């Protein structure tokens, strides 16, 4: 396994691999890898010849007062896990390499970024789309893999790839959960034991919503009320939003007659956590995956 920190070196490497007609797969990460990331790498291993992961805690997707400085990092462990999963290259640039002092270009996806997390994090997705375009231009993948926990991020990237005619296949992978249902996230590290217990209300509420939906409930308002009731019973949890949206436009919907996503964000202590479930009556797989 190689660790490449230079943009030019990564591009040259990928150019050579492409000339050999090999398929490059990229899994972009911010490091502090967990089983969710590893499931993306396993899928990546299946889908291509060269598996590259990027590890870059991207400053432009953090707002003022957010946890950029504190975001958990463990380079040594990340490298070991990546190697075990058959990763050939870790691309791990510095912030100065990615954003020189004259930097001034940003990619904006206008509509799908406005709702959900876009309300309380108005500059977040612009940072995400910008760094993802940069990573695509540097690593030059044929396929890129993202987790569905960041559902709005995945929808935004799909929209951007379509709009900018990026010739890259985007693959979304199901949320990975702990045994007790908590969606895996590097930010779970922030939780103390009490907060960790309170955080279980998220997956519990989604499970309950899924059952309501299966029993025939189609009114978004009713489902959202039940989800909020379950979460609000936990005093350590502050809800940012609970919404039901169209899975492509991410606009709020009142009555679920198309595929919808029930998405939520909460603050618990210093952790901001998100979770979601897709509600689709034609799909039996609306249970929370483990």
- Catalytic choice (34, 37, 124, 142): 37
Q: What is the 3-state secondary structure (H, E, C) of 79-90?
A: HHHHHHCCCCEE
CB count, 10 Å around CB of 131? 21
Please report how close the Cβ of residue 171 comes to a second copy at its closest, in angstroms.
19
Q: Is 158 a binder of a second copy (CB under 8 A)?
A: no
With CB under 8 A as the rule, give the number of residues binding a second copy. Answer: 31
Residue among 104, 179, 216, 282 that touches a second copy (CB under 8 A) = 104
Q: How far is the CB of 160 from a second copy (least distance, A)?
A: 5
The mark string for 9-28 relative to a second copy (x by CB under 8 A, - otherwise) is: --x---x--xx-x-------
Return the residue of 167, 257, 284, 285 that touches a second copy, per CB under 8 A: 167
Identify the sign of the CA torsion 202, 207, 208, 209: positive
Smallest Cα–Cα separation from 14: which of 6, 24, 29? 24
Who contacts 252 (Cβ-Cβ below 8 Å, separation ≥6)? 115, 220, 243, 244, 245
Known catalytic residue at 37: yes
Closest to a second copy by CB, 112 or 227 = 112
Q: Output 51 or 132, the one with its CB closest to a second copy.
A: 132
Query: Of residues 2, 94, 103, 229, which one binds a second copy by CB under 8 A?
Result: 103
Collapsed DSSP state (helix, strand, coil) of residue 60: helix
Give, for 276, the enclosing helix (H) or strand (E): strand 271-279
Nearer to a second copy, 77 or 111 (CB): 111
| Among the listed residues 266, 261, 254, 257, the one whose alpha carbon sits nearest the alpha carbon of residue 230 | 266
The answer to whether 158 and 170 have CB atoms below 8 angstroms apart is: yes
Binding site for a second copy (CB under 8 A): 7, 11, 15, 18-19, 21, 102-112, 129-130, 133-134, 137-138, 140, 159-160, 163-167
* Residues belonging to the active site: 37
């Amino acid at each position: 396994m190689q660790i490449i920190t230079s943009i030019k070196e990564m591009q040259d490497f990928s150019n050579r691999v492409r000339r050999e007609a090999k398929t490059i797969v990229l899994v972009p990460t911010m490091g502090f890898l967990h089983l969710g990331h590893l499931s993306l790498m396993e899928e990546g291993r299946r889908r291509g010849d060269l598996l590259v992961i990027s590890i870059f805690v991207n400053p432009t997707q953090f707002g003022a007062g957010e946890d950029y400085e504190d975001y958990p990092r463990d380079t040594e462990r990340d490298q070991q896990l990546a190697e075990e999963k058959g990763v050939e290259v870790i691309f791990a640039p510095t912030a100065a390499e990615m954003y020189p002092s004259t930097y001034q270009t940003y990619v904006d996806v206008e509509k799908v970024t406005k709702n959900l997390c876009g309300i309380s994090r108005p500059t977040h997705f612009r940072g995400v789309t910008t760094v993802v375009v940069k990573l695509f231009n540097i690593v030059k993948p044929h396929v890129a893999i993202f987790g569905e926990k960041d559902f709005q991020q995945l929808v935004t990237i799909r929209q951007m790839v379509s709009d900018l005619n990026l010739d890259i296949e985007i693959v979304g992978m199901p949320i990975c959960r702990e045994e007790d249902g908590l969606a895996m996230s590097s930010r779970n590290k922030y939780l103390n034991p009490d907060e960790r217990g309170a955080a279980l209300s998220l997956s519990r509420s989604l499970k309950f919503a899924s059952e309501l939906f299966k029993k025939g409930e189609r009114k978004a308002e009713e489902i959202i009320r039940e989800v909020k009731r379950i979460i609000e019973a936990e005093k350590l949890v502050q809800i940012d939003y609970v919404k039901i949206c169209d899975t492509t436009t991410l606009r709020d919907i009142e009555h679920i007659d198309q595929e919808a996503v029930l998405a939520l964000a909460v603050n618990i202590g210093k952790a901001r956590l998100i979770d979601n479930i897709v509600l689709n009556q034609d799909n039996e797989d609306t249970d929370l995956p483990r």
